Amino acid sequence: MIVVNTETVPGYTITELKGLVQGNTIRAKHLGRDLAAGLKNLVGGELRGYTELLTEARRQAMERMLAQAHELGANAVVNVRFTTSSVTAGAAELYAYGTAVTVERNVDA
Tell me the domain boundaries of the chain.
2-105
Length of the chain: 109
As a whole number of angstroms, the distance between CA 73 and CA 21 comes to 12
* Fold exhibited by the domain 2-105: Translation Initiation Factor IF3 (3.30.110)
pLDDT top residue among 1 and 28: 1
Alpha helices in the chain (DSSP H): 31-43, 48-71
Pair 11, 106: CB distance under 8 Å: yes
Q: Which of 79, 88, 77, 76 is nearest to 27 (CA)?
A: 88
Residue 19 burial (CB < 10 Å; 0-12/13-18/19+)?
exposed
The predicted pLDDT at position 109 comes to: 44
Q: pLDDT by residue (tens digit) across 62-90? A: 999 999 999 999 999 999 999 988 777 77
